[in-house]
Structure 1
């Protein structure tokens, strides 16, 4: 069977179209105030900690389907990631699967360092016939999938060089650098992505340059969450109250680092503690000065040996450190 026909066969068998219509806004990036944005990233994400129901099943998902390395296991906990970094920590503490309709995690995004690695991540899903939804946000190329507990995961390739501006005069669209007006959640050209695959090796774990690139949160109040993360030092990027959405950046050309929406409902609480979902996440500033600025603007924290702990307005737990 020819390579292209083979790819179409396995990709066609794996696609689903169940993405929430509002997910089109997940990567809406405007070009407002670009001159005020710093060129260098000043913060990144450490490991994200997830509460899950079955450690064996979730470990198999993150190793076989995502392609991560099992780095450490201890009791009901497992650390997974690359050869050099832990990206995800699993805690078998949940009694029930992810509960929809609550504040907390919308999705966590695993970012590929280049198109070849992104193609390899998508190919692994297709080869395992694992359901996913492919979406082109212009600012990025993405596929979405659920873990065994229903926690939404995104694989992302950052492509800010394709983006020009957001267009809102007739609904919500994106203009690319060539002047084309596109859907904010266009169809992803999987043939084009797969053309960069090369010779896949599914026994190889994901690249050491793979990283947690952004988090998208369900917020009980978008305005309060947006203000909170800006006080922490993140830069305002989009603020679209008419769509119950905002996002902030951490420097660099890709500015969608923490996104917030209330599409699940305003003033919704976190799900119960025995539900699968996000336990906490880590933000690592690249200087003590940036961390000190965050601490001076947000004084309600607890200092522990591993960093400074906060709750955002929705109740999400965050640990701040610097490198």
Structure 2
């Protein structure tokens, strides 16, 4: 039971009666509206609870789980270079659209990566071709002077001792006459033929280069005087016994050789080449088509 009272007061010009009004009412009746409101709210909450659970389940199944799967798949792609695609995802329209967009992006990235790989491979091929062009003689395909000196200096400096390294200088005899009589294209054919003959007689670890004009240089490794002479003589004989065919005509070719072995005091391969060149000069003065060996550092031209 609830009891309440109120005192009447004046209102404007009305002085009031000064009464005390007392009222009593049953609590259930007094709080009936509030109770109904509370029960209504509780009922709505109870009804909303399964809806909330269903909504959470739908969100987890349609959105959260697919997003977690996509995230894990993307992380796997970042870790594993062999993983290149995302799995198909079912879920809400937005998740499926996101999955499709990511898959399209990965396909595009894969295409870009493949193009990048092809470009990189082509770049490597182009660089290799440029390196070959920079290191080789375009007429014969042999090493050029610059690349030969690099290889020869490395061989000289890389050995514990300079013994066993030899240089052959070779010069085509009467080459100017070949150009004068048969023309420069015939001279080019002679140079190519001599280059092929020298290359065919080389050992696997030896190197040959066109040093300039009609002159060639050969690097011999692990060789002594007798072996160097034998190799030079084999080259000279092979060239002299061959004939260069040019436009139906045969051109006889001979080559003079100068040979020199590296010595312990040599600072670089240029000193060995210089001695071989001096020996070549001696071979030319001895009638050509022969092999001469330089045994000392003395310049035979000064003799």
Select the structure of larger CA radius of gyration. 2
TM-score, normalised on structure 1? 0.22
Report the structure, 1 or 2, having the larger strand content: 1
